[in-house]
Structure 1
Amino acid sequence: MAISSRKVKNRRNAEGVLTGKPGTVYDVYIKYMTNGERKTYGKRGFPTKAQAEKHEAEMKVKLEKPSYTPLLVMNGKQTVKEYMEDWVEKHGKANLRPSTLYGYRGYIKNHIVPYIGSVPINQVTGAMLDDLFSKLYAKGLSHSSVRYTQRILSVAMEHARKYRYIEYNPARDIITKFGKHGKTPDPYTVEQMQLFMANTYGTEWEMSVMLGGMYGLRRSEILGLRWRNVDFENKTFSVIEQLPFKVPPKTNIIKEFAPPKSHGRILPITDTTMQYFLRQFENQQKQKKLLKSAGQEYYDNDLVVSRPDGAPLNASRLSSNFGKVLVKFDMPHIRFHDLRHTAATNMYQLTGDFYSVGEILGHTLKGVGMTLGISSNLEAVTAQYVDVRLERKQTVLETYHNALHMEKSEQKKEKPIAKASRDMEL
Structure 2
Amino acid sequence: MSAPRDTLASRRVRANGDGTVYQRKDSRWEAAGYVLAPGNTRKRIRVYGTTRKEALAKLTEKIAASNRGLPIPSAQGSVAAYLTYWLENVAVHQLRENTYTRYTAVARLYLIPGLGRKKLARLTAKDVRTWLNQLRTTCQCCTRGLDTARDQPICCAAGNCCSKRLSPLPLAYVHSVLKSALEHAVREEEIPRNVARNVRTGTPRPRRFEPLTADEARNFLAATSGHRLQPLFELALHTGLRKGELLGLRWEDLDLADGTASIRRTLQRTNSSGLTALPTKTKSSERRIALPTPCLHSLTQHRDRQRKERETAGTEWKDSGYVFTSPDGAPIEGSTLTRHFNTLLRRAVLRRIRFHDLRHSAATLLLEQGVELVVIKELLGHAHIGVTATVYAHVRLRLQRDAIDTLSTALSSGGITVTASSNGDEPPPCASVVR
1:371 maps to 2:375:
no
Contact 2:235 2:241 in 1 (8 A): yes
What is the match of residue 44 of structure 2? 40
Partner SS, residue 71 of structure 1: coil
| Pair 40,370 (structure 1): closer, same or farther in 2 beyond 3 Å | same
What is the match of residue 290 of structure 1? 312
What is the match of residue 340 of structure 1? 359
| Pair 29,95 (structure 1): closer, same or farther in 2 beyond 3 Å | farther
What is the match of residue 191 of structure 1? 215
Q: Which has the larger radius of gyration?
A: 2
Q: How big is the shift at 1:32?
A: 3.9
Contact 1:41 1:70 in 2 (8 A): no
What amino acid sits opposite 1:215 in the alignment? Answer: T
What is the match of residue 202 of structure 2? 178
1:59 maps to 2:79:
no
Distance in 2, Cα, partners of 1:279 & 1:315: 23
Q: 1:260 aligns with which of 280, 286, 305?
A: 280
Q: How big is the shift at 1:242?
A: 2.5
1:83 maps to 2:82:
yes
1:279 maps to 2:295:
no
Contact 1:157 1:171 in 2 (8 A): yes
Q: 1:31 aligns with which of 24, 30, 33?
A: 33
- TM normalised by structure 1 equals 0.68
Contact 2:364 2:395 in 1 (8 A): no
Distance in 2, Cα, partners of 1:371 & 1:105: 28
| Pair 328,198 (structure 1): closer, same or farther in 2 beyond 3 Å | closer
Q: How big is the shift at 1:28?
A: 7.7
Distance in 2, Cα, partners of 1:359 & 1:301: 29
Offset from partner CA, 1:238-284 (integer Å, 9 cap, x none):
21223255276886xx6xx4332335322222222122212322332
Q: How big is the shift at 1:42?
A: 4.1
Distance in 1, Cα, partners of 2:223 & 2:209: 20
Of all paired residues, the percent bearing the same amino acid is 24
What is the match of residue 70 of structure 1? 71
Distance in 1, Cα, partners of 2:219 & 2:306: 25
Q: How big is the shift at 1:233?
A: 2.0
What is the match of residue 243 of structure 2? 219
Partner SS, residue 267 of structure 2: coil
What is the match of residue 127 of structure 1? 126
Distance in 2, Cα, partners of 1:323 & 1:142: 27
Distance in 2, Cα, partners of 1:158 & 1:123: 15
What amino acid sits opposite 1:355 in the alignment? Answer: V
Q: How big is the shift at 1:181?
A: 4.2
Offset from partner CA, 1:380-402 (integer Å, 9 cap, x none):
xxxxxxxxxxxxxxxxxxxxxxx
Question: Relative to structure 2, which stretch is displaced further, 366-375 or 260-269?
Answer: 366-375
Q: How big is the shift at 1:97?
A: 3.0
Contact 2:79 2:116 in 1 (8 A): yes
Offset from partner CA, 1:278-328 (integer Å, 9 cap, x none):
232233223223333xxx711111211122211112224534664565456
Distance in 2, Cα, partners of 1:159 & 1:250: 30
Distance in 2, Cα, partners of 1:312 & 1:211: 17
Contact 2:36 2:70 in 1 (8 A): no
Partner SS, residue 279 of structure 2: coil
Distance in 1, Cα, partners of 2:54 & 2:358: 54
What is the match of residue 355 of structure 1? 374
What amino acid sits opposite 1:70 in the alignment? Answer: P
Name structure 2 gaps, 5 residues minimum: 1-19, 141-163, 397-435
Corresponding residue pairs, total:
343
Partner SS, residue 278 of structure 2: coil
1:314 maps to 2:316:
no
| Pair 349,31 (structure 1): closer, same or farther in 2 beyond 3 Å | same
Q: How big is the shift at 1:112?
A: 1.4
What amino acid sits opposite 1:314 in the alignment? Answer: E
Partner SS, residue 311 of structure 1: coil
Contact 2:264 2:279 in 1 (8 A): yes
Q: How big is the shift at 1:152?
A: 1.0
Distance in 1, Cα, partners of 2:22 & 2:354: 58
Q: How big is the shift at 1:55?
A: 5.2
Name structure 1 gaps, 5 residues minimum: 8-25, 377-426
1:88-103 equivalent positions in 2, closer than 5 A = 88-103=87-102
What is the match of residue 109 of structure 2? 110
What is the match of residue 164 of structure 1? 189
Distance in 1, Cα, partners of 2:264 & 2:360: 20
Q: How big is the shift at 1:149?
A: 0.8
| Pair 114,244 (structure 1): closer, same or farther in 2 beyond 3 Å | same
What amino acid sits opposite 2:176 in the alignment? Answer: R
Q: 1:147 aligns with which of 172, 176, 183?
A: 172
Q: How big is the shift at 1:53?
A: 8.2
What amino acid sits opposite 2:279 in the alignment? Answer: P
